Amino acid sequence: MANLVTSLCCVVLAAVVVAYAQRRSQLVARNQYERMGSDVTMQCGSLDNDASVSWKVNGTDVKAQHRLEGPRLILTQVDLGHNGLYSCFQNPNGERRDTIYLHIGIPPREPAVTCRSNTYPKGFYCSWHQLHQTFIPTTFEVDVQHNQRSLEVQKDSVHKNRCHVRFPEVFSSFPYKVNVTAVNALGKAYSTISFEESSIVKPDPPERVTATPIRDNPRRLEVTWHSPSTWPDIDNFPLKYFLRYRPLIREQWQHVELSDSTSHTITDAYAGKEYIIQVAAKDTEIGTWSDWSVAVHATPWIVNPVPSTPTTEVEVVPETRTSPIPSSKAPQKAEPPVGRAARLLTFFSPLLLGMLLLFM
């Protein structure tokens, strides 16, 4: 009797577990990926073809162009607007039977791949990107071959579309072959590039560039910089440098190529003009020039003008003089009567004296 009860309990428990699992599968949304522009069919669970169901998307009735065929919902010419959470309910009691998260996207295309060594001779890195959006999650598989063997590939911790590879040997004559495959739920595509070791060497730009005016030299600037910190062996693999500079008032650059020096004196600067200065670096034997460094600005030494000797200003009081020829426009003062009679007496006195002598 006890064994029978135990058996019945086990059967009931198993039925409960199965029912719970089925119920759970109905509540958990499953992902369905479809190509943009296609017609999409979504099946409501495992219901028979003659089942009657209704559908909702994101909790509301489906308003996009569609049709129903038993337990199936068919959407036509889907685009990104059809993305969403679709749920189906069995009629007439309205029990939810399935939940589907619909993702609309496109298959990947051949990724663009580039490789570069800024840490020569330590190693190189490759980066890639899709030229067109896929709108759904896309992953990348990377394979690097050298001298008929695969090399270890280390994913970058910061840039998701970048990996690092160590050089297995230096001065190798065998080419490297890099294959990058883009994969998503709708398909895959790959790109393959091959290159020689020497062709991908490109240092990072020089660092800590400074430009300083030279005292009492109005046409000189002292420029200094440091080799890029990412270049691992500057002693055995020296760099050469390329300096360019111009005044802000002109568009044309002046250039100076230097062997391995990390300083240069500009001797032909325009006095008093602000300059913009940049430096690039390159391995002395192989590879290409780096990008330009961050631009710095500087102005040559400006000689202060010699101050003039101060003078004491003396206020000069103008002397007042009577003009001998009065202006015709200036009003004339009337002469006093006494002065006029005196001049008349002076004029007629000789005449009166002559008349007195005649009558005597």
- Domain residue spans in the chain? 27-105, 111-199, 207-298
Q: Please tell me whether residue 6 adopts helix, strand or coil conformation.
A: helix
d(CA 192, CA 182): 12
User: For position 319, what pLDDT does the model report?
Assistant: 42
CB 303 within 8 A of CB 218: yes
pLDDT at 15: 52
Cβ distance 136 to 103 under 8 Å?
yes
Establish how many alpha carbons lie within 13 A of residue 129's alpha carbon, considering only the half-sphere containing its beta carbon.
4
Query: 66-69 and 30-35 as β-strands: parallel, antiparallel, unpaired?
Result: unpaired
Residue 275 has a CB neighbour count (10 Å cut-off) of 23
Nearest CA-CA partner of 241 in 222, 263, 273, 212: 263
**CB of 208 within 8 A of CB of 225?**
yes
Q: Which residues lie across from 212 on neighbouring strands? A: 222
Give the model's pLDDT for residue 4.
Answer: 53
Which pLDDT belongs to residue 334?
37
Residues of the chain with pLDDT under 70: 1-27, 305-360
Same-fold call for 111-199 versus 207-298: yes
Pick the CATH number of 207-298 from 3.40.50.2020, 2.60.40.1150, 2.60.40.10, 1.20.120.1200: 2.60.40.10
Please give the single-letter amino acid code of residue 201: V
pLDDT computed for residue 333 by the predictor: 38
- Measured CA to CA, the distance from residue 157 to residue 119 in angstroms comes to 17
Sign of CA dihedral 24, 27, 28, 30: positive
Tell me whether strands 84-90 and 95-105 are parallel, antiparallel or unpaired.
antiparallel
- Note the CATH architecture for domain 27-105: Sandwich (2.60)
d(CA 42, CA 29): 13
Q: For tokens 């058996």, name the residue.
A: 7
Write down the pLDDT at residue 335.
39
Largest CA distance in the chain: 203
Torsion sign across C-alpha atoms 319, 320, 326, 329: positive
Residue 354, SS3 per DSSP: helix
| Overall residue count recorded for the chain in this entry | 360
Q: Report whether 268 contacts 181 (CB < 8 A).
A: no
Tell me how far apart the alpha carbons of residues 263 and 224 are, in angstroms, rounded to a whole number. Answer: 4
Closest CA to 237 of 281, 192, 284: 284
Q: What fold does the segment set 111-199 form as a domain?
A: Immunoglobulin-like (2.60.40)
Q: What is the pLDDT of residues 247-264, one digit of tens each?
A: 999 999 999 999 889 999
Q: Which pLDDT score, from 0 to 100, does residue 305 have?
A: 60
pLDDT of residue 3: 57
Q: Are 275 and 298 in contact (CB under 8 A)?
A: yes
Q: Which two tokens stand for residue 137?
A: 């999650």
Round to whole Å and give the CA distance between 151 and 176: 10
